[in-house]
Amino acid sequence: MKILVIEDDPFLLRTVTRTLREKGYAVDSAQEGESGLFKAEGSDYDLILLDVLLPKLDGWSILKRLRETKKTPVLMLTARDALPDRVRGLDGGADDYLTKPFEFDELLARIRAVIRRHASHAQSEIQIADVVINIPKRTVISGGEAVSLTPREYALLEFLALRRGQLVTRAMLYEHIFDETEEPMSNLIDVHVSNLRKKLGRDLIVTRRGHGFYVE
């Protein structure tokens, strides 16, 4: 899953970005509004964390312009905690609103919930045959046994599982699994898919040659 963080506080931006990467998310960032909007409009993120008080272009304006073209989930993360601000954010198209200061456990839970809702999957667990994926715990059980996955393998599996029955192209996987700081090798997705098949069974992920992958 790939998240864009638009936040002008350097310390908070570094902290949020580091924490999300430690949790297995690919993370892009922007420290002012114009570059944030440019990135938000130019990529298909799984979620955007959006501050309100930003240089060059504020969060309200970013949200308004983004909603003219994209449905990317937006979680507003701001010190503006007055009721009219929260109402303005939600009515303006934000999917959730969290005020600063916040606890990271709550932020992570809200991120997971917004991503699940956007994928039309309200449950925190996904079961595919005998494979059970627990999204909050980021754990996978196959045939009743816990399976150890690398963060990247888990991210790829969760992305496919949340789009169960849908064809996912390699380009989509590269865009959502890796962030702007990485230059992955061209066959890296195939390597991760191969590893997942070894750990979870060959039939879990289906290849549609020349198009991409899906789980049934």
For tokens 């990247």, what's the residue? 152
Q: What is the pLDDT of residue 8?
A: 95
CB 54 within 8 A of CB 32: yes
Residue 138 has what DSSP assignment?
T
Question: Residue by residue, what is the 3-state secondary structure of 140-207?
Answer: EEECCEEECCCHHHHHHHHHHHCCCCCCEEHHHHHHHHCCCCCCCCCCHHHHHHHHHHHHHCCCCCEE
pLDDT digits 0-9 by tens, 163-199 = 999 999 989 998 888 888 877 777 889 999 999 999 9
Q: What is the pLDDT of residue 81?
A: 84
Q: Give the length of the chain.
A: 216
What is the structure's pLDDT at 31?
96
- pLDDT at position 214: 92
pLDDT tens track for 110-122? 999 999 888 877 6
Q: Which domains does the chain have, with CATH numbers?
A: 2-119 (3.40.50.2300), 125-215 (1.10.10.10)
Averages of pLDDT over runs of 10 residues in the chain (216 residues) are 95 96 93 96 95 94 94 92 88 93 94 88 85 92 94 92 92 88 80 95 90 90
Question: Residues 199, 184, 121, CA angle at the centre, nearest 5°?
Answer: 55
What's the predicted TM-score (pTM) here? Answer: 0.83
